[in-house]
Structures are given as C-alpha cells and as structure tokens.
Structure 1
Amino acid sequence: MDLTYSAEDEAFRTEVRQWLADNLVGDFAALKGRGGSGREHECYEERVAWNRRLAEAGWTCLGWPVEYGGRGLSLFQQVIFHEEYARAGAPARVNHLGEELLGPTLIELGTEQQRQRFLPGIADVTELWCQGYSEPGAGSDLAGVRTRARREGDEWVLDGQKVWTSLAQHADWCFVLARTDPGSTRHAGLSYLLVPMDQPGVRVRPIEQLTGTSEFNEVFFDGARTGAEMVVGEPGDGWRVAMATLGYERGVSTIGQQVGFAKELDGIVATARANGTYDDPVVRARLARARLGLDVIRTHALRTLSSVAAGTQGPEVSVSKLLWARWHRDLGELAMAVRGADALTVAGAPYALDDQQSLYLFSRADTIYGGSDEIQRNIIAERVLGLPKEPRP
C-alpha cells in the first residue's frame, strides 16, 4: 500500500481547498459544522442548497464514471476531497445514501434504464434516497427480513415495516430489501426494490433519540406500489445486491469521518487543558491512546480502500467497522470523564445539548447501527477464520 501523494494529487488538494474557501462564504459560512450524526435536523434546507452548489460545481459523485455524471477520480483524489471537506468544516451533505450507496450499486448491477432514470437526480441532488433494510425483528441479522412484496401485473405491492431508516422524512425514494418468494427463508427469495416514498401506502414515523432529535424513522408499507421494472438485479437475487450496497457504505467518505473524529478529539483535549484534568496522568494516558487509535483507524481504512480498488477485498471491511465504532463510543465516554459533573447539566431549556454531550449520547449507538459488533465478529469468525457457525433458532 503506497500512501504517497503525487504532484497531481497535491495540485488537486489545492484546487479543492481553494474552492471550499471561495464558496463557504456568505450564508453558506453559517453552515460550517452543521449536520451529521445526531444533528441532521440542523439547517436542513440550507444544506440541501449547499449540496446542490457542490453538484453545480462538479463536486458530487467524484468516483462515478464520467458517462454517468461523475468525474472518474482516482481513489486518492476522492480521499483528498473528503479530507479537505472535513477540514474546512463544510456541512454534512444530505445526499450520502444516494451518492455513496445506491448510485454505485446501480452503476454495477442496475439496468441501463435504471441508470438513466435515477443517476442524474442523485448527481444533481434533486432526488433524495433512504435505505429500507433493518426491521424490528431483523436489524443486523438482515437475512431475517419479513417485509413482503408480491407481483400484481406491472407492479410490486409491498407490505411490512422498516426501522432506523435515516432521513426517511426527507427522502423521495427508498431502496428496499423485501421477500418476494413466499416460501423462502434467510438469504434466498429476497429482492432489491426501488420504491417511491410519496404515495398513500407509505407512512413515516420519526423515532426520538437520546439526543432529542429524530433523524431515524420507522417506515410502514401498507400496499405501497412500485413498477415491475424497479427491481435491481433479478427477483430473488436481492441478497447479493444488498451486500454490494453495504460494501459501498464504508467507502472513501469514511476518511472524512475520521477527520471529524480528530476534531472531536482536539476539542476534548482543549477541554482537558482548560479545566485542569489534562494534568491527571490517567486522563492524559487515555487521550494519548485515543490519538494512537485514530491513527490506526485511518491507516486501516486506507488499506481497506486500496484492497477494494485492487479487487482483493477481504475481511478488512468488518474489521474497520469494529475499529471505528468502539473507538468513537469510547471517545464519547472520555469526553464525559474529562468534563466531570459539568457534563450532567444542559446549557438551556428544554434540552440544549452541547457538542460533547451529543457526541456521548449518539455514539452509544455506534456499535449497533451499520452492522452490530456482534454480527461483524461472527462474519470474521465464520467466513475468515473458518470457525463453526453460531447456532441459530
């Protein structure tokens, strides 16, 4: 793994940095640091406008092929963009699920008709997407989904419930994993369907989180309909398509996530210096371990991306999730330890959390969403180490 940036890469870094400096001004300057996990409610419409500014300037879909509206940039250049975007404090983008997950899935496995229909709206941020995977009885154990879809003439008709559906309240479309073979179990008989959200058969109910915000939702399908052509891959082949999407979930944007993590750690160090806890050798040792852990996460992420680009992806993806999720959860606990009793009170009524309080509360879920730690360990144990499979009911 060669982590050396070329002169062309460094010139690209300068281009990205300059564009962000020139455009994060005026009304957009107020968006710096806004949005992200636990804070998606912040300045949402303004962030949509910002995301569309990015699209107009060609800063969306950087790794997509040019013929599908992307820029065809190298892996390193994509990493550079996400690093510089995070360092500039640019707001969290609203189009992650479409741009980073569904778009690449359609490019790899969709029909040309599906690509022509959906990729332009993702690239210019005029159609937003959510992900219909998890269910009340099938979270990380995705093969247990019970949402069903049946074929009626030229349409699929869906009935069921999804949960933890990020930003469903804003989405125009949802990519849904549903069981289309009534007699099937587990991985067989599933299909990957593209379903419009604005219809009578779809109901969205927000879930209030520990942070007091509601970026997650329950989604109920009660006779919801979509066209027969809105299945990605073949009917019954949804598991393979869903796994391809999950492979894209931990792509280059995670590098920018780690720059955000570093800023959070810097803030905790500043708090420790200000309140004197930095002089405690135990606290100082925990801060040092956090810094080293972040370096390990970044190096591992780059190695993982390099293996994906080379077509030699192995267990690195599951290891990556285990690394960053536990580290970030522990960072929230470290923030509270540094703050002490001050962390127990809010700045104002009714529930005005500061950034470190939100970090602690939201990061409790890090080891659960996106594939729980238990599931990731099972994947590594069974598929990599060849250990016996865990007994299932």
Structure 2
Amino acid sequence: MDLTLSDRHRALRADLREFIARHGHRSPPVGGGGGRKRPDQRVLDWQSLLIEHGFAARSVPTRYGGYGAEHDVLDAALITEAFNAAGISLGIQGQGIRMLVPTLLEVGNEEQRRRWIGPTIRGELHWAQGYSEPEAGSDLASLRTRAHVEDGNFVINGQKIWTSSAHYADMMFLLVRTEPDRPKHLGISYLLLPMATSGIEVRPLATMTGHATFNEVFFTDVRLPTDQIVLGRGDGWKVANVTLKHERMLLGDSSKLVHRLHRLRALLAETVVDGAPLLSRPVWRDRFLRLQGEVLAGKYHQMRLLSEASRDQDSGLGLLVVKYYGTTLAWRLATLAVDALGEAGLAYEPHDEVGEDSAATAWYADWMYDLGLIIGGGSSNIQKNIIAERGLGMPREPKPMGGA
C-alpha cells in the first residue's frame, strides 16, 4: 500500500482543513446519528453538507444521490483522519448507509439503487437488519421465518430477534426461507420490507444500558410484492454474505477506535489523583500505550483491506478478523476509561439514547453497549471458530452427539 500523498491528495487535505475551519462548529456531537436513534435535524443538515462536499457518500455515483468520486482508499483515510483529529462527526454511520447501500451497489438492480440509495445516504430512510432468530443466530442458515407466494406477493410469517433500530426504522432488509425443499443455504431470499406494512409487530428489548436498542419483530401474514427481492429466489445467502462483509467492517470500524483513543487520552490527562494526572503515572500510561498500539494496528490493517478491496482482491483471513478485533478492542478502551473514572460513574442512569449527561456516564454507556456488540453480528467465540476453520484451515469444531 503506497501512502505517498499525490498533488490531488494534498489538495484534498487542504480542502479538509478549510472545511473543518469553516463548518466544524456545525457538527453534531460525535456519536449522534450513529445508529442508536433516529437522527435529528442537525444531524440531517450535517449529512447533507458532507455529501455536498464529498466527505460522505463520496464514491456513491451521482445518479444515486452521492458525490460521484472515484473510489480511493487514501481519500477515505484522509477524511477519517482529519475528522477524528478535529473531533467532529463523520456523518450517519448506520446499517442502511454502511451495509445496505454497498450491498445494492454490488448486487442490487438499477431500480433498487435509484429508489433506495439516495434517501438512505441522506438519512431520510432508516433500515433495520432482519437476520437473527431465536434459534438461528450464529447458525443463521437455520432461520425459520418463511415466505410463500400468493397473488403476486410474498406472504411472510415468523420472528426475528436482536433487531437493532427496528423500533424507529422505515425499512428492513430481511432474510426469509422461500424454498423449503432446497438445502438450507440455498432456500433463503433477501427482501426489502417497509416497516409500516400490516402484520408487523415490534417489541423493544431493554438492555443493561436502560435503552431499548434491540427488538423482537413478529410477522403475521405480512404481504410484500415479489419484486422487492435482491437478486432472485434462493439467492439470499449470497446477498446476505455481501452484507455481512460490510457489517464486520462497520462493527470493527477503526475510525471509531481512533476517536475513542483520543477521548481516552484526554480523560487520562484530565483526571488528577493526588496532584498528578493519571497519564503521567507509569501503570496507567503503560495500559494506554498498549491499547494505542493495538488501535494503530487496527487502523493500518483496515487501510490494507480497503486497498485490497479497491483492487478487487479477496482479503480472506484479513477480513474475517475485523469484527472480532474491533469490538473487543473498543470494549477494552471503554474498560480503561471506566477504571479511571472509578466511583464517578456508579450513579449511572440512562437518559438519552445516544448522549448521556456527563463524560462518566457516557463512558459507562459505551462500556455496557460494547458488551452487546461483542455478541451481536456473530459472537466472538463464533468469530474465532470462523477465523480458525475458514481462515487458517484448521479442523472444524466437533459437534455434540446428534448435532447437525
């Protein structure tokens, strides 16, 4: 990966400095619009400004509402670096923008791209991911939610669980079994479903943060036109894996880790005990520097993956480790902050679904929420099995007697 800045890249860096100096005060708080609640008007205005200047949806074609620049890994790295250093928001980072949009660009048809991408990148449409079920989480291909065709519609019945943002989403990208007579991986279809459709019931699930960021979703004779399918019947597993590729990059996003590292350093420098900041004490400084090294390793690894993707190279094992590495490291960063805060966060009470009322409770909210991310999107133990078996070619984990 060549990180030498060309004249064009130097010009982009100058544009970023000018943009931040001129508009940085308009940024919503970092984390606002990140996917835990519906964005407010300030977040939407910021997103529109970022798209206009090419700092969001940069490589999404203009015909779909994006900026229309050629994909360039160093462009993305420079934008992320500049915004993180300035402590301003990178814009909306939810499931629709980070997972569905690249899926449609890769395998969607033209009508789907024109209909869904523009409103999604602008933050006008919000998406939930209908994958996990009570008995089909890690073994997703065992899902039981079914859809049969009747009078030109899919008729959907079943249940999803741990469905992030379903309580405010406009749409859901949904996996259902449409071909029950085919092998389980080949009998799944990938549908695009409006959440206002009759027959959908959403039941929020409160987590230990006190917020209901996850949900149960029940489908009873939900009718959806048969053209609201990505690729074709039975192709859902292929499409789902395209989305999962982008989900792992979202959950293990190195830009989140870099920003959290900056917050953590400021906290340790500002927290004074017995007349000295914690960052000046060897034990605390050592813990911080170890985490800093891991964050930088994650950052450069993700840049390598983006470089490979831009050349249509298969990253293999390199891609498999992102989710596991990123979510566990994010939690460990929050753990150091919680240790530093000590009793300051023990009176934690949930307020708003994104920001809390003090730095202490914000860190405690991150710490608790990140435990869920270690499990969600494929638990860490399952991720390690996938890395071992698919990435390293090790023998498959033995199944219990009578297991499939």
**Equivalence for 1:162:** 160
**CA distance, structure 2, for counterparts of residue 20 and residue 112 of structure 1:** 35
**Equivalence for 1:375:** 382
User: Is the Cα–Cα contact under 8 Å of residues 98 and 129 in structure 1 kept in the other structure?
Assistant: yes
How far apart are 1:99 and its partner, in Å? Answer: 2.2
How far apart are 1:195 and its partner, in Å? Answer: 0.6
| Partner SS state of residue 191, structure 2 | strand
How far apart are 1:325 and its partner, in Å? Answer: 1.7
User: Is the Cα–Cα contact under 8 Å of residues 156 and 223 in structure 2 kept in the other structure?
Assistant: yes
How far apart are 1:322 and its partner, in Å? Answer: 2.1
1:1-393 → structure 2 map (5 Å cutoff)? 1-25=1-25, 28=26, 31-35=28-32, 40-41=36-37, 44-70=40-66, 71-73=68-70, 74-91=72-89, 93-94=91-92, 96-251=94-249, 254-273=253-272, 276=276, 277-278=278-279, 280-312=281-313, 313-346=315-348, 354-392=361-399, 393=403
Cα–Cα, structure 1 residues 232 and 358, in superposed 2: closer, same or farther, change >3 Å? same
| Partner SS state of residue 160, structure 1 | strand
User: Is the Cα–Cα contact under 8 Å of residues 34 and 43 in structure 1 kept in the other structure?
Assistant: no
How far apart are 1:58 and its partner, in Å? Answer: 4.8
How far apart are 1:196 and its partner, in Å? Answer: 0.8
User: Is the Cα–Cα contact under 8 Å of residues 251 and 305 in structure 1 kept in the other structure?
Assistant: no
How far apart are 1:72 and its partner, in Å? Answer: 2.8
User: Is the Cα–Cα contact under 8 Å of residues 47 and 92 in structure 1 kept in the other structure?
Assistant: no
**CA distance, structure 1, for counterparts of residue 155 and residue 130 of structure 2:** 15
What is the one-letter code of the residue matched to 2:155? V
How far apart are 1:274 and its partner, in Å? Answer: 5.3
What is the one-letter code of the residue matched to 1:336? V
**CA distance, structure 1, for counterparts of residue 187 and residue 265 of structure 2:** 48
**CA distance, structure 1, for counterparts of residue 200 and residue 289 of structure 2:** 48
**CA distance, structure 1, for counterparts of residue 308 and residue 339 of structure 2:** 38
User: Is the Cα–Cα contact under 8 Å of residues 144 and 186 in structure 1 kept in the other structure?
Assistant: yes
What is the one-letter code of the residue matched to 2:342? G
CA deviation map 1:275-297 (0-9, x unaligned)? 64445533332112111111111
**CA distance, structure 2, for counterparts of residue 58 and residue 51 of structure 1:** 10
How far apart are 1:17 and its partner, in Å? Answer: 3.7
How far apart are 1:174 and its partner, in Å? Answer: 0.8
| Partner SS state of residue 167, structure 2 | coil
Once the two structures are aligned, what percentage of the paired residues are identical? Answer: 35
Unaligned runs of 5+ in 1: none
Cα–Cα, structure 1 residues 261 and 279, in superposed 2: closer, same or farther, change >3 Å? closer
CA deviation map 1:224-272 (0-9, x unaligned)? 2221111111211111111011222345892432332222322342255
**CA distance, structure 1, for counterparts of residue 311 and residue 232 of structure 2:** 27
User: Is the Cα–Cα contact under 8 Å of residues 230 and 239 in structure 2 kept in the other structure?
Assistant: yes
User: Is the Cα–Cα contact under 8 Å of residues 106 and 115 in structure 1 kept in the other structure?
Assistant: yes
| Partner SS state of residue 334, structure 2 | helix
What is the one-letter code of the residue matched to 1:264? R
**CA distance, structure 2, for counterparts of residue 207 and residue 382 of structure 1:** 33
User: Is the Cα–Cα contact under 8 Å of residues 209 and 350 in structure 2 kept in the other structure?
Assistant: no
Cα–Cα, structure 1 residues 184 and 270, in superposed 2: closer, same or farther, change >3 Å? farther
CA deviation map 1:178-199 (0-9, x unaligned)? 1111234542201111111112
- Greater shift, 148-157 or 209-218, is seen at 209-218
**CA distance, structure 2, for counterparts of residue 128 and residue 144 of structure 1:** 27
What is the one-letter code of the residue matched to 2:322? S
CA deviation map 1:108-154 (0-9, x unaligned)? 21122222222232243332222111222222332222211111121
CA deviation map 1:322-371 (0-9, x unaligned)? 22222112222222222233332338999956222122222222321222
User: Is the Cα–Cα contact under 8 Å of residues 328 and 366 in structure 1 kept in the other structure?
Assistant: no
**CA distance, structure 1, for counterparts of residue 217 and residue 127 of structure 2:** 13
User: Is the Cα–Cα contact under 8 Å of residues 83 and 90 in structure 2 kept in the other structure?
Assistant: no
**CA distance, structure 2, for counterparts of residue 142 and residue 373 of structure 1:** 15
What is the one-letter code of the residue matched to 2:202? V
- Greater shift, 372-381 or 189-198, is seen at 372-381
Unaligned runs of 5+ in 2: none
RMSD over aligned Cα atoms: 2.8
| Partner SS state of residue 375, structure 2 | coil
The TM-score, its normalising length taken from structure 2, stands at 0.86
| Partner SS state of residue 206, structure 1 | strand
**CA distance, structure 1, for counterparts of residue 38 and residue 117 of structure 2:** 27
How far apart are 1:316 and its partner, in Å? Answer: 0.9
